[in-house]
Structure 1
Amino acid sequence: PAPRPPADAASVPSRKKSATTAHETNLGAVTVTARRRKESIQDVPVAVSAIGGDAIRNNELRVVNDVTKYVPNFTGQSTEGRERPRWFLRGVGSNDPSDLSLSPIGVYFDDVYINSVFGQGFPLFDLDRIEVLRGPQGTLWGKNTVGGALSITSQKPTFDVSGYGKLGIGQYNSRLAEAAIGGPIGNNDVLAARVSVYHENADSFYTNTVQQGRFGGFHDNAVRFQVLAVPTSDTDFLFNIHGRNYTGGGNAWHAEGAGPGGANQFGFVGSSDPYTVSLNAPSSDHISTWGTSLTAHWRINPAVTLTSITAFEGLHRWYQDDEDYSPFDAARTHDRLSTRQFSQEFRLESPQSDRLSWLVGTHLFTEQLAEQGAGGGLPGSPSPAYYHLTDLTQHTQSAAIFGSVKYRFTDRFNVTAGLRYTIERKNINLTGLQGTGNVTFSDPNSWWSPSSVSSPLAVSARQNQTNTWRAPTWDFTPEYALASNVRAYFRYARGFRSGGYNGNAYTQSTVSTVSPEYLTDYEVGIKSEWFDKRLIVNASVFHYDYRDIQVFALAPNPFGGPPVSTLSNAGQGRADGFELELKAQPINSLYLFANLGMLNTRYTEFRYVPTAVGNSFARSPHTTINAGFDYRVPVSFGTLTAGGDVNYRSREYFSATRQTFPQLWQGGYTV
């Protein structure tokens, strides 16, 4: 179900003991850090949605993709279980299927940028809040935020003992358990700690006709441990260590052939039941992630505060799948991925209360990535056996300096301006191998290993390349208080997504390099509170100019012959939209909310596929609506809540180039 609006503030936990406050009689002030400072969401001239920790827990938001139910013009479906959300925000996303894919929606966990798309599908437990910033956030959040940023903040340790526990059971043998506990270490206000744990498992609702049983299911386990140290009133340190272990049953692909009666090229006709599959090859996926960070704040003097965030993240993924979606051994895939990233950010900032406030900083990032992906068909299937392998390493280094200044000309009129300059260097070393002649395997159980291929292997692709890209990004935002309860703003901002390489290349014709893509946002918004803050109305209208869009699609074969599928800067486009967010508390116990998103996207240029000009961006429904209510009654042991909600999404296309195929779009639906 879609989540309800929180009644309490989604604020960063205090580093001191805090007394319990009485229940507020209005919607309260939600605190966010969209501009890297703690501010009321109503004072931030950015289109941002915030979800408090209680709302996440009470409304059964289990994985990060569920956040899209809160936010207009936001989708995050996954075709690979819980491991890879495909973010599309205001029409901006990525269709790159490779392990090198970069989402143009930057994802941050406790202020740490998560680069790998496979590290972004984490479960949601013991959180303080989630913020979704819409529009390019290139100044303060950095690269790869062309479409926006998703910031997830854990519940921090405090000097009050607190915690919770939650158990759940459901259909298909689903089980949920999560808990957290924290408080002071010792009898002083210097050290505090918090530990949070999560487990969920479920069987699949798919039936496999080949293996005669259920197909899929998953186990998801995660843990987080934090220690807060406050040695003086001017300094604090937060240490965070966390990990996740996820195992899933693979992808439940349901094939629908183009032949008579739905037959595929081998004459196989699958079940008409979309929840019945016919897969004979082993299918499973496993992800392990781990990381640690140290965040420090030091108030150097009353005018300057220094923030340092040092972080390391690691990921290992192992995956195998049936790629012909049939009982034959015509196509299989196997993939191993390993990433290690390190980041360091320093920020200096002035107090927010001054007429002139500022923030400057630098961000350093490095990542080492190694991947080995194989595809093959075994002897005995209706098609000839084959084998190909892509073995690659990629090293990314980037550095950025940034600054933002806000000047208050009058009590009603402010201007904020920011600038960031990023330099990124990438090196790829890729080798493609291909089986030749009559392909056979000495060990079909480990067919993906080159040592198991009995026939000769030939080098089919090579790429050893280094590129350096430089990009300025900025924002300029004047804002004006029309009244004490109504603020209007205009935002002019630019963001970019880094260049990169086609990680799926296994022939020389599919080797490619893409340049960065750029998006410029022109936006007008209003934020308002009415009836003693019992009604909040926020709205925005925006226009995007989107250049050098990175698209995985057909492109000319550089060596002649049929076109090939590869990654290229194929598109130019535009997007226009409107968003409305409402929250209301007409009486103390009743909470109402509604979100509306309207979006019109178009490719104005599509190199190599001219028929795609005029098409909508993929996964970008024209209309999204979310509305609901909570009725809360205080009782002696807590609060009883009754609620309901509805969510509507209009038609969306899964492909940018083939939008006339009914199999490649989904009609509108309401849940």
Structure 2
Amino acid sequence: MKPNFKRSPVLVAMALLWPAAFAFAQASETAPAAGTLQSVTVTAERRAENIKDVPSSISTLSGEKLDILNTGGQDIRMLSGRVPSLNIESSFGRAFPRFYIRGYGNTDFRSNASQPVSLIYDDIVQENPILKGFPIFDVNRIEVLAGPQGTLFGRNTPAGVVKIDSVKPSKTTDGYLNLSYGTYGTTGLEGAFNLPVSGDWNARISAQSQHRDNWVKNDKSATKDLEGYDDRAIRLQAAYDGGAMFSALFSAHNRDLKGSARLFRANIIKKGTNDLVDDFDPAKISTDGLNSQSLTSTGFNAKLKWSLPDFNVYSITGYETVSAYSRGDIDGGFGAAFLPTGGGPGRIPFPSESAAAIRDHKQVTQEVRLESRATGPLTWQAGVYLFREELGFDSYTYNTLGGNVQSGAPLRSDQTNDTYAVFGGATYALSPDLKLRGGVRYTQDKKSLATQPQPAGDPNLTNTANGLGASTDNSQVSWDMGATYKLDKDTNFFARIATGFRGASIQPAGPFGPLNQAAPETSISYEAGIKADLFSKRARTSFSVFHYDVKDQQLTAVGGGSNAVRLVNAQKASGDGVELNFDAYITPNL
């Protein structure tokens, strides 16, 4: 199999990066002293701090670790299991990742779903799950913040936050280019080039292209070749440094994905076991439905900073838009049990071929935040936050046995979501060794949804028992308290109590079930732990114990009394656990 490189803006950009990569690849690299670990700086509290000084559980990935992970051609799910308590899965292939932290997440697969784990990419929330799959490339650091983050990051963070920060423009001329190749014609190409434009302006362009050949063969008359993809993304940044008083960072990014949707395989597990059937072959499938997936997303953001004598002022503006289409054979087989010829593999009660699409989407965010510059025992920050999302999404069904033609009109729904919040937090040093932290946030969250009525006689006639539209309007106060105690120069103890919430959800009416809603869910978490550098900084560890309670957890119920997907609220859920991070140099070079 040969790699298939098609002409695209991303590949053209990479071609331009190639000469610079070899000349400047090592220009900006720095290394710690031989055999010692560098200190880790994080922005979990919205300001740069040593990870040991933050009273919460934080895991990070950066540098060589990320470079190695990125060579496998994987999407954002490559982060799953790379840090304690983080799991990521998807039933949409390379789109629509679902995040879980400490076992707390949500399996909802609707186009307007929300999740209890928020993804923040370059200070901009990626609210719709389709946006959360944006590729990871030219990244400086990834932080996984476990537990509720409602004070500083807002709603939809009761389980935690995954925070991604890309490499920013600098005053040096440098760049890099990475190329990887693997089985199934898997190719990865990633590069970046940094250029000082003038005394005040610096620019950076970075891009990634990932390709895999189709490697699964379908022996039926539907889509014959499956599981391949072409996934390309690009980021452009421009930074302005106006001296001590003002700075600005402007960024634009784009992603284009074409490939296969997730494959569903019917009856491949032996009954009563966890074993695959004897004749299972991952490179073969027998389905009579069509399969395709495409996605395009674009975003722009601007971060402005004014430095005044007593405090800094930040303005962070973001705009995101995405369109997507994903079609697959949900029954995972061919035919049907009621046909004279039957179906397979195993028993297929009835054919099920469907598609989901985002036809229109706009997300606008604005934050204004004040941050103290004082060097005394008290530091603080406060701000306001605005969010608006407009989402138009469609659901399609297809007549598989009738030639894979569309069955009736699509179910078309439109949703708007408006949120505003005010927040503040402070840290106070009671002594050189003991620091207390606290914060609070008030959020107002409004959501409305409407589904268009189906034409009379349509086979997908919508269940109107609960109407075709609904709206919610909820307010919530989130807060947190924490403390850090410095035992010695290498060891800190910490403790934290925090709350978070996820806004209400609305599921549109469909042929098999009426419109339904889920009330907001709230969580409270308790944790304590230790962070330490060991053996003259040759090793580093963090250990924590935690407990959390969730009230009115939003869940997705599939099937049961009807062939429908329903939103439900679980009255109560709880979780307990321990986490351990450990990094060490085993030898001076390992």
TM-score w.r.t. the length of structure 1 is 0.76
Offset, 1:583: 1.2
Corresponding residue SS for 2:81: helix
- The answer as to 2:493 corresponding to 1:520 is no
**Equivalent pair of 2:396/2:407 in contact (CA under 8 Å):** no
1:224-373 → structure 2 map (5 Å cutoff): 224-256=235-267, 272-301=280-309, 303-328=310-335, 330-337=351-358, 338-351=360-373, 353-373=375-395
- The answer as to 2:228 corresponding to 1:217 is yes
Distance 1:515 1:352, change over 3 A: farther
- Aligned partner of 1:178 in structure 2 is 190
Distance 1:411 1:324, change over 3 A: same
Offset, 1:95: 1.4
Offset, 1:223: 0.5
- The answer as to 2:444 corresponding to 1:423 is yes
Distance 1:417 1:555, change over 3 A: farther
For residues 534 and 272 of structure 2, the distance between their equivalents in structure 1, rounded to whole angstroms, comes to 59
Corresponding residue SS for 1:76: strand
**Which AA in structure 2 matches 1:273?**
D
**Which AA in structure 2 matches 1:374?**
Y
Which structure 1 segments of 5+ residues have no match?
A: 1-17, 263-268, 437-454, 591-671
**Which AA in structure 1 matches 2:205?**
V
Distance 1:570 1:563, change over 3 A: farther
1:522-601 → structure 2 map (5 Å cutoff): 522-553=526-557, 565-590=565-590
Distance 1:296 1:160, change over 3 A: same
**Which AA in structure 1 matches 2:483?**
P
**Over the residues paired in the alignment, what is the CA RMSD in angstroms?**
2.8
- The answer as to 2:421 corresponding to 1:400 is yes
**Equivalent pair of 1:45/1:477 in contact (CA under 8 Å):** yes
For residues 165 and 587 of structure 1, the distance between their equivalents in structure 2, rounded to whole angstroms, comes to 29
Distance 1:166 1:379, change over 3 A: closer
Residues 56-85 of structure 1: per-residue CA shift (max 9 Å, x gap):
113436422212232111110222221121
Residues 149-184 of structure 1: per-residue CA shift (max 9 Å, x gap):
011111100001111001122111122111110121
For residues 487 and 258 of structure 1, the distance between their equivalents in structure 2, rounded to whole angstroms, comes to 48
Corresponding residue SS for 1:42: helix
- Aligned partner of 1:47 in structure 2 is 57
- Aligned partner of 1:483 in structure 2 is 488
- Aligned partner of 2:499 in structure 1 is 494
1:632-651 → structure 2 map (5 Å cutoff): none
Offset, 1:213: 4.8
Residues 188-239 of structure 1: per-residue CA shift (max 9 Å, x gap):
2x10000011111101332212159532200001000000011222211000
**Equivalent pair of 2:140/2:167 in contact (CA under 8 Å):** yes
Moved more, 321-330 or 115-124: 321-330
Residues 270-324 of structure 1: per-residue CA shift (max 9 Å, x gap):
96334421122221011100000000111011x2001110110000001222223
- Aligned partner of 1:148 in structure 2 is 160
- Aligned partner of 2:463 in structure 1 is 460
Residues 245-270 of structure 1: per-residue CA shift (max 9 Å, x gap):
001122221111899999xxxxxx99
For residues 157 and 351 of structure 1, the distance between their equivalents in structure 2, rounded to whole angstroms, comes to 24
**Which AA in structure 1 matches 2:207?**
V
- Aligned partner of 2:146 in structure 1 is 134
For residues 155 and 76 of structure 2, the distance between their equivalents in structure 1, rounded to whole angstroms, comes to 21
**Equivalent pair of 2:527/2:547 in contact (CA under 8 Å):** yes
- The answer as to 2:129 corresponding to 1:117 is yes
Give the percent of matched residue pairs that are identical in Structure 1 and Structure 2.
Answer: 29
**Which AA in structure 1 matches 2:388?**
T
Larger relative contact order (Cα-Cα within 8 Å, sequence gap ≥ 6)? 2
> Aligned match of 2:476 in 471, 475, 489?
471
Offset, 1:117: 0.2
Offset, 1:433: 3.4
Distance 1:291 1:270, change over 3 A: farther
> Aligned match of 1:195 in 205, 209, 212?
205
**Equivalent pair of 2:512/2:562 in contact (CA under 8 Å):** no
> Aligned match of 2:66 in 56, 64, 68?
56
Which structure 2 segments of 5+ residues have no match?
A: 1-26, 337-350
Offset, 1:519: 0.8
For residues 589 and 258 of structure 1, the distance between their equivalents in structure 2, rounded to whole angstroms, comes to 45
**Equivalent pair of 1:298/1:305 in contact (CA under 8 Å):** yes
**Equivalent pair of 2:289/2:400 in contact (CA under 8 Å):** no
Offset, 1:325: 2.0
For residues 259 and 304 of structure 1, the distance between their equivalents in structure 2, rounded to whole angstroms, comes to 64
TM-score w.r.t. the length of structure 2 is 0.86
**Equivalent pair of 1:270/1:278 in contact (CA under 8 Å):** no
For residues 513 and 225 of structure 2, the distance between their equivalents in structure 1, rounded to whole angstroms, comes to 40
Distance 1:421 1:270, change over 3 A: farther
- Aligned partner of 1:24 in structure 2 is 33
- Aligned partner of 2:9 in structure 1 is none
Distance 1:163 1:327, change over 3 A: same
